[in-house]
Amino acid sequence: MQKRHSKKIIISVLFILFIFGNIISSAMSPALDNNTINSDKSKINSFDSKIISYDKDSNDENLPLPSASNLKIEDISGGIGLTFIIKNDGELDISEIDLNIETEGLYVKKFTNNRTDISLLPAGNSKKISFRVFGFCFGEPLVYNRFIITINAPNITTMKRILLVNVIGPIVEVIAINMNDGESYDGYTLFTPEYSTETYLINKDGKIVHSWKSDYILGLGFHLLENGNLIRNCLTEINPAFPLNGGTGRVEMFDWNGTLLWEYELSNDHKCLHHEIEIMPNGNILMLAWELKLANEAISAGRNPLLLPAGVIWTSFVIEVEPIYPTGGNIVWEWHVWDHLVQEYDSTKNNYGVVKDHPELIDINFGIPLGLVDWNHLNSLDYNEEFDQILISSHVQNEIWIIDHNTTTDEAAGHSGGKYGKGGDLLYRWGNPQAYQTGDADDQKFFGQHDARWIEKDCPGRGNILVFNNGLTRLDTFYSSVDEIVPPVDSDGNYNLEKGFAYGPKEPIWSYTAEEPTDFFAPITSGAQRLPNGNTLICNGPNGIFFEVTLDKEVVWKYTNLHPNTVTTQAAKIDLYPPDYPGLGEFNIEQVNNAPGGKYNSFIDFIFNILKDCNILFSNLLNYINNL
């Protein structure tokens, strides 16, 4: 009796193991049903693919050629394996579609073939694709654990989706969906996540090709120099006199291998570096800094006492520093906002005047300071070598300003001298004519903008100005845009202004917003860069999302930052460097770009083989028992 009971237990255990083996086998095999189109191998091979819809006539000979904008990859999702839809929403059939999926990372085994050929995807049709894997990989999504979907077809640029994933058994969790389509501009993107001590250089597939590590978290500004050195500002500690966001206090330079070459600090009770830095052609560095003004100083400059709730005010200035290696530097030029003020509040002060009559000056009583103290909150710098001018973004005034750099420091403090005869007064301003009483709220164009920069000479729009317009205080609704404006400047760098009117232009010549504007909103930081092929690289700072759009506003590249962690992934700005940029140092580009993927650990492979063998064994054993 006991033997018979033991025999039942053994058979029950074997049966449970058999069921488990079949479940695993099912999870590792493609799911097929009667609607799956794989019986006709001329149509589709390897993947599970289902027709979703067909509702368009594709026989019109006058229709244009299909394009990448007609072929879409949608509804990418995890679960038991990976599923997504390929959709042709154009008016022409698309033929000879080559679909390939690769895996990169550790401990992943594929149970669906990598590649399939779709001979025809009629207009209006969609196909559902299923991809099955089994394995264990998680924890380093920027380096490992990626599924790469690549689609090629005649007359259509390559489409690539790069998925950052976790895989646990047959379960796939999609962490982020990046893209790298054929119309994107090749190069390497430099960024430093906020609250991170590391700076990364990534290729277009999102692989880290190089990195630098500091002892301090980023302060917002960084550049890769043509000699391969990295310069970045950073925050050593919060200055109690200047505790708001954007404060830095330190600039440091590393060589390509990460050796600290130079450091410069300015952070005390009266002054503190903040936000951005800009490299000059002569190797000097432009830096933004705050300076503290007490209530009596502000009132002496015509500030309304009612606009001093904190009893102090911060204003900004620009310094040009000549580095002294390995520590320190000489300030060889400087420009202060405080030297270029106008006000209508106190007629007893020297700077009293009609604001509207002085667009070259800054109204000390205009604008609501951030944190009640930061009156300008300048947040970006750019330098124009052709005109020897500096472009500044003023967050509080919702304006960009241009000043003459071809001055002595004394001339920069006055209203005459320099290349343009205006000393340090504003040569140009744009974004909010209310700041100089030449417009109303309907005329305001910028809303808490960042990263104003001239478009480089080798890019479409050369000499125009590109600005990330955060849209923080728009009157209608909150959304962000990237705006390109054509300043009214002649070949010598002089800006046209008709007396009594606002500076032109009336509107941006080009602007990017999301198709549904509120889908793209970055209230802080962020930036944009025009690329040589006409595309625009955009950084959605608070969300840590970088993407590239064509002049037709089609997204052709996207990268999701997951550093330093999945909770805080902000990145204030990004810069792209072409493959032939001199500053790209010693790393094997080919090895990085073509790194093999899809490997799995031999132990995992061993487990898979055991499960397969057990499944066969249990099947044979049950057949034997049934025949007893």
pLDDT at residue 108, rounded to an integer: 76
pLDDT at residue 566, rounded to an integer: 56
| Topology, domain 188-592 | Methylamine Dehydrogenase; Chain H (2.130.10)
**Residue 380, pLDDT above cutoff 70:** yes
Banded pLDDT at 598 (limits 50, 70, 90)? very low
Non-local (6+) Cβ contacts of 290 within 8 A are: 242, 247, 271, 272, 274, 314, 315, 316, 374
Q: Which is more confident, 116 or 616?
A: 116
The secondary structure of 117-135 as a DSSP string is EEEEE-TT-EEEEEE-EEE
pLDDT at residue 271, rounded to an integer: 98
The secondary structure of 354-405 as a DSSP string is -GGG-TTSEETT-S--BTTTBSS-EEEEEEETTTTEEEEEETTTTEEEEEE-
**Residue 64, pLDDT above cutoff 60:** no
Banded pLDDT at 22 (limits 50, 70, 90)? very low
**Residue 500, pLDDT above cutoff 70:** yes
**Residue 3, pLDDT above cutoff 70:** no
User: How close are the terminal C-alpha atoms of the chain, in Å?
Assistant: 19
**Residue 597, pLDDT above cutoff 50:** no
Label residue 628 exposed, middle or buried (CB < 10 Å: 0-12, 13-18, 19+): exposed
Please state the domain extents for the chain. 24-182+598-609, 188-592
Q: What is the mean pLDDT of residues 354-368?
A: 97
d(CA 312, CA 440): 29
**Residue 149, pLDDT above cutoff 60:** yes
What number of other Cβ atoms are within 10 A of residue 272's Cβ?
25
Banded pLDDT at 46 (limits 50, 70, 90)? very low
d(CA 146, CA 176): 10
Q: What is the mean pLDDT of residues 442-456?
A: 98
d(CA 466, CA 393): 11
Banded pLDDT at 136 (limits 50, 70, 90)? confident
Residues 190-220 have pLDDT tens digits of: 999 988 999 999 999 999 999 999 999 988 8
Chain-centroid distance of CA 529 in Å reads: 10
Banded pLDDT at 85 (limits 50, 70, 90)? very high
Q: What is the mean pLDDT of residues 494-509?
A: 97
Banded pLDDT at 614 (limits 50, 70, 90)? low
pLDDT at residue 623, rounded to an integer: 56
Q: Tokens in use for 187?
A: 């190069």
Banded pLDDT at 19 (limits 50, 70, 90)? very low
Banded pLDDT at 79 (limits 50, 70, 90)? very high
pLDDT at residue 448, rounded to an integer: 96
The secondary structure of 587-617 as a DSSP string is --HHHHHT-------HHHHHHHHHHHHHHHH
pLDDT at residue 133, rounded to an integer: 87
Banded pLDDT at 106 (limits 50, 70, 90)? low
Q: Which is more confident, 112 or 324?
A: 324
d(CA 133, CA 166): 11
pLDDT at residue 363, rounded to an integer: 98
pLDDT at residue 166, rounded to an integer: 87
**Cα-only R_g, the chain:** 30
**Residue 189, pLDDT above cutoff 50:** yes
pLDDT at residue 626, rounded to an integer: 55
Q: Tokens in use for 1?
A: 């009796």
**Residue 16, pLDDT above cutoff 60:** no
What number of other Cβ atoms are within 10 A of residue 558's Cβ?
22
**Residue 36, pLDDT above cutoff 50:** no
Closest CA to 258 of 212, 227, 224: 212
pLDDT at residue 501, rounded to an integer: 96
- How high is the mean pLDDT of the chain? 85
Strand runs (DSSP E) across 12-155, as ranges? 48-51, 71-77, 79-80, 82-88, 94-104, 108-110, 115-121, 126-131, 133-137, 146-153
The length of the chain in residues reads 628
Contact 257, 273 (CB under 8 A): no
Which pTM does this prediction carry? 0.85
Non-local (6+) Cβ contacts of 401 within 8 A are: 391, 392, 393, 394, 426, 428, 429
Banded pLDDT at 113 (limits 50, 70, 90)? confident
Dihedrals phi, psi of 295, to nearest 5 degrees: -60, -45
Buried b (16+ CB within 10 A) or exposed e, 509-530: ebebbeeebeebbbebbbbbbb
**Residue 556, pLDDT above cutoff 90:** yes
Region of residue 302 (left: phi > 0; alpha: psi -120 to 50; beta: else):
left
Q: CA-based diameter of the chain, in Å?
A: 114
**Residue 33, pLDDT above cutoff 50:** no
Q: What is the mean pLDDT of residues 454-472?
A: 97
The 3-state secondary structure of 255-271, one letter per residue = CCCCCEEEEEECECCCE
Q: Is the dihedral of CA 503, 507, 510, 514 positive or negative?
A: positive
pLDDT at residue 473, rounded to an integer: 87
d(CA 406, CA 358): 21
d(CA 277, CA 70): 42
